[in-house]
Amino acid sequence: MPAGGGFPLVGDNAQQGKDFRMDMSLFIQFVINGLMLGMMYALVAVGFTIFFGVLDVIVFSHGDTVMLGGFSGLAMYMYLQHVFPGLAPGWSLLWVVLTALTTMALLGMLLASTMIMRLRSAPALNTLLATMMLGTVLRESIRLFFPNGSNPQPFPHLLPDWSLNYGQLSLRFDNLVLFSAGAAAVVLIHLLISRTRLGMAIRAVAQDSEAAQLMGVNFSLVVLTAFALGCGVAALAGIMNGIYYNEINFSMGLLLGAIGFSAAVIGGLGNIYGAILGGFIFAFLQTIGAVALPFSSAYKDVFAFSVVIVLMAWKPTGLLAEKSSQRV
């Protein structure tokens, strides 16, 4: 009741209702943003978990593969604008995505055949070091050889900028398309792994590579396919990141790689569904750090990584590792 002992004024109730609607709209907006980020993180984490599930390797250059996917798409867009200046955005988007996916899939196969498979018999630390150095090579190559590569590059608006606005809530059409594309990629990976002969071969190698080879599984083909798949998904994440933030930069793979690897670990490294769960958990933690905690949103990553450390100490093998007997 008011200080004077009377009943609340109608205007006060109206203002409270308005404030509640604004708070709820803001909350829903952060949830939507968190889902979008979670999908990108999940795609990056899926790549890490495919590599580990098939070959027991951790590819530290994977975050830079995401970055390179974004830049390969941007390079194709710049070429199209030079050769076909009036090309419709839809066709440009198609070529950008196809170029990024193809380039990164080929890079993944090249990485697997020339580095990863040759280091199978070497200590695991050698693979970690080699992929870490490869990531540095990729970053510095973009910084030095891409036009104005040391600065953030504006990424083209390839999707309609329609939006549905209600108070502080803005539901953007491009975000809906990006989320749907990521979800479709996850579903396709699930169907490939669980419903096809190739997927059966991948799971067989993940379980026991020597037994799989004795049963006639083409080990080299499985490894090449797995790396093409993981790097192709990374390319999609790079394109999504560029469209979502409207820019890309040569160093963005460092943070995305750390987040994707953290998501894969807390979900259960080697478990695709755990990687997806871990991606959304990390995005949820960032959202809490940006909205609900009494400090600047600049500390959201500090908060998220701190919680991940606690989760790793609590569940060292990941949240879903004990719920599935199969890898990948």
Number of domains in the chain: 1
- Provide the residue type at 286 as one letter: Q
Domain annotation covers residue 125 = yes
Evaluate whether residue 328 is within a structural domain.
no
- 3 is a domain residue: no
Most distant CA pair in the chain, distance: 86
Higher per-residue confidence, 86 vs 25: 86
pLDDT at 321: 66
What's residue 29's pLDDT?
80
pLDDT: which is higher, 263 or 30:
263
- Distance, CA of 54 to CA of 235 (rounded, Å): 20
Q: Give the pairing type, strands 247-248 and 153-154.
A: antiparallel
Residue 19 has pLDDT above 60, yes or no: no
Assigned domain for 27 exists? no
The whole-number average pLDDT for the span 259-282 is 94
What pLDDT score was predicted for residue 169? Answer: 75
- 302: domain range? 37-323
pLDDT at 323: 47
* Burial 95-119, CB ≥16 within 10 A → b, else e: bbbebbbebbbebbbebbeebbbeb
Q: Angle of helix 10-55 relative to helix 252-267, nearest 10 degrees?
A: 80
Domain assignment of residue 16, yes or no: no
Q: What's the rounded mean pLDDT across residues 122-148? A: 94
What is the residue type of 267?
G
pLDDT for res 7: 46
Q: Which of 28-32, 204-208, 322-326 has the lowest mean pLDDT?
A: 322-326
Q: What is the mean pLDDT of the chain?
A: 88
Given a cut of 60, whether residue 209 has pLDDT beyond it is: yes
When pLDDT is averaged across residues 111-126 and rounded to a whole number, the result is 90
Round to whole Å and give the CA distance between 217 and 229: 18
Is there a contact between 178 and 36 (Cβ–Cβ < 8 Å)? yes
DSSP letter, residue 170: E
Q: How confident is the model at residue 227 (pLDDT cuts 50, 70, 90)?
A: very high
pLDDT tens, residue by residue, 66-81: 999 999 999 999 999 9
Over residues 223-242, mean pLDDT = 96
Q: In angstroms, rounded to a whole number, what is the distance separating the alpha carbons of residues 9 and 15? A: 10
How far is Cα of residue 252 from the mean position of the Cα atoms in its chain?
A: 12
Which of 12-16, 199-203, 238-242, 317-321 has the lowest average pLDDT? Answer: 12-16
Query: What pTM does this model have?
Result: 0.88
How much is the average pLDDT of 169-184? Answer: 90
Q: Is the residue at 29 inside a domain? A: no
Give the confidence band of 2 by pLDDT, cuts at 50, 70, 90: very low
Question: Has residue 48 been placed in a domain?
Answer: yes
Which SS3 state, helix, strand or coil, does residue 163 take? strand
Q: Domain for residue 137, yes or no? A: yes
Can you tell me whether residue 313 is helix, strand or coil?
helix
* Share above pLDDT 90 across residues of the chain, in percent, rounded to a whole number: 66
Average pLDDT rounded to a whole number, residues 181-203: 92
Report pLDDT for 41.
Answer: 97
Residue 109 has φ and ψ, to the nearest 5°, of: -65, -40
